[in-house]
A = this chain, B = another copy of it.
Amino acid sequence: MYKQLLKHLSKDIELTPEEEQEFLSILEHHTFLKKSLLIQPGQKVAKEYYVLKGCLIAYYLDKAGQKHIIQFATEDWWISDFEAFFNAYPAQLYVECIEDSEVLSLDISVLEDLYFRIPKFERFFRLKITKAFVALRNRILSSLQKDSKTRYLEFCEQYPNLQGRVANYHIANYLGITPESLSRLRKGLN
């Protein structure tokens, strides 16, 4: 069941079988239906989520109250509300399932405790967020070269397995354009 997850961990850190078991033991398994919310503003406990199956969207609200998609997460992705780590809440996060999904969750306080006992996990999550940082920075770069056709093509390349699974208006939101513009843009690609 969790073979994929352990393989995923083993790319960055080497764990003993006991450590693997310890990690698995602090995870909680959930199934969420399409359209349900994993994270929403005002939630008391911060968690890390690991997607086993299905697809999630992370939305952020800006000051104008607009939702913006900042990330799609599918199988084998981690997603979390990093602001919660610092008890700082300028922006507000929603995480919504757009497909029925299976997810593992990990309470931040339990995770912090694990970091102290087994620093290898601190290493794992440091590497993970560093990669996320790089990916996010590349998104800023591509948004600065503000040609939306190129950005759409990059999106398709980057998420080939999302074709047909994610609504076009979600993709448009992610790209920062309107659904109408995306529609015209796609038309122009044939």
Contacts and interface: CB of A to CB of B under 8 A. Distances in A.
A35 interface: no
Contacts of A122: 119, 122-123, 126
A66 interface: yes
A115 B121 CA distance: 12
B131 A133 contact: no
Contacts of A68: 140-141, 144-145
A183 B133 CA distance: 31
A123 B133 contact: no
A138 B5 CA distance: 29
B131 A129 contact: no
A136 B138 contact: no
Majority-rule SS of A interface residues: helix
Given A123-B122, A125-B126, A143-B176, A133 B62 contact: no
B129 A130 contact: yes
A170 interface: no
Interface stretch (A26-34, A78-86, A161-169): A78-86
A84 to B, nearest CB: 10
B91 A176 contact: no
A171 to B, nearest CB: 13
A129 B70 CA distance: 18
A142 B62 contact: yes
Given A86-B134, A122-B126, 18 more contacts: A66-B145, A68-B140, A70-B137, A70-B140, A82-B133, A83-B134, A85-B130, A86-B130, A119-B123, A125-B126, A129-B130, A133-B133, A133-B136, A136-B137, A139-B140, A143-B143, A143-B176, A144-B176
